[in-house]
Amino acid sequence: EPEVTQTPSHQVTQMGQEVILRCVPISNHLYFYWYRQILGQKVEFLVSFYNNEISEKSEIFDDQFSVERPDGSNFTLKIRSTKLEDSAMYFCASRSQTSGPYEQYFGPGTRLTVT
Amino acid sequence: AQSVTQPDIHITVSEGASLELRCNYSYGATPYLFWYVQSPGQGLQLLLKYFSGDTLVQGIKGFEAEFKRSQSSFNLRKPSVHWSDAAEYFCAVGTSGTYKYIFGTGTRLKVLA
């Protein structure tokens, strides 16, 4: 069964460094999302992406964040200058136009630790 | 504003006992509702979903949920809990437009042997 994959599974970085989190969505999916979950808290929407554009972003998704689909398979989240409060689990999700109106498929997540 | 409320932060049940996890939503249009389970350090696994039709939906691992529009609820149930069900459970609503999900704060389930 196709699945969403994410790399790395765990990333440790120092405050102020740039990080890129990578996701490979399911191959025929067209809609892509990033969510984050701070330890012990709920999962929060960050950004949605369709047709090579951001379609919606949350208040969390400030200028430090960017997303890109650099090729036909990868979908990345970049944090330009990490802060301690960026430490969280980051989930990528994807959705097709035909898998049901709103069903998203989630990756296993990348745990980001900022020291 | 769109929101999902899970009133119970922690629930403890004995193995073999029945389980009900509560979820209430606030959403103006027809809601699309989901339950996910997350084991410690793991990702999100879809248990079940409601899009339309029969308001009682069956999911994996013996779980079911009932959509009640009049109560704006989508409670998750299981008749007999197993120790392996210990995890955190998230209710979510899928929104229109960009179809993002709004998650509840989660309910952590502990199962006593």
A102 touches chain B (CB under 8 A): yes
Give how far the C-alpha of residue A69 lies from the chain's centroid of Cα atoms, to the nearest Å: 11
- pLDDT at residue A80, rounded to an integer: 96
pLDDT tens track for A6-39: 999 999 999 999 999 999 999 989 899 999 999 8
Q: Contact at 8 Å (CB) between B16 and B81?
A: yes
Q: How many CA atoms does the CB half-sphere of A83 hold within 13 Å? A: 7
Give residues 67 to 106 of B whose Cβ lies within 8 Å of A: 90, 92, 94-95, 97-106
Residue A69 near residue A51 (C-beta atoms within 8 A) = no
Tell me the three state secondary structure of residue B23: coil
| Distance separating alpha carbons of residues A62 and A41, to the nearest angstrom | 20
Q: Are strands B10-14 and B107-112 parallel, antiparallel or unpaired?
A: parallel
- Taken as a whole, chain B contains a residue count of 113
- Inter-chain residue contact B99 with A45, CB threshold 8 Å: no
Asked if the Cβ–Cβ distance from A31 to B99 is below 8 Å, we say: yes
pLDDT reported for residue A38: 94
Q: Which two tokens stand for residue A24?
A: 């490979």
Using the Cβ of A33 and the Cβ atoms of chain B, whether some distance falls under 8 Å is answered with yes
Q: What is the pLDDT of residue A26?
A: 92
Cα–Cα distance measured from residue B28 to residue B5, given in angstroms and rounded to the nearest whole number: 15
A96: left (phi over 0), alpha (psi -120 to 50) or beta: beta
Asked if B107 and B6 count as a contact pair (C-beta separation under 8 A), the reply is yes
**pLDDT, tens only, A41-83:** 889 999 999 989 999 999 999 999 999 998 878 999 999 999 9
CA distances for A2 relative to A29, A94, A106, B84, B98, angstroms: 11, 11, 11, 25, 23
Q: What is the pLDDT of residue A101?
A: 61
pLDDT at A99: 55
Confidence of residue A102 (pLDDT cuts 50, 70, 90): low
Question: What pLDDT sits at residue A22?
Answer: 97
B92 CB burial (10 A radius; 0-12, 13-18, 19+): buried
What SS3 state is found at B72?
Answer: coil
pLDDT in tens, chain B (113 residues): 789 999 999 999 999 999 999 999 998 777 899 999 998 878 889 999 998 888 999 999 999 999 999 999 999 999 999 999 999 999 999 887 778 899 999 999 999 98
Nearest in space to A115 (alpha carbons), one of A32, A14, A31, A4: A14
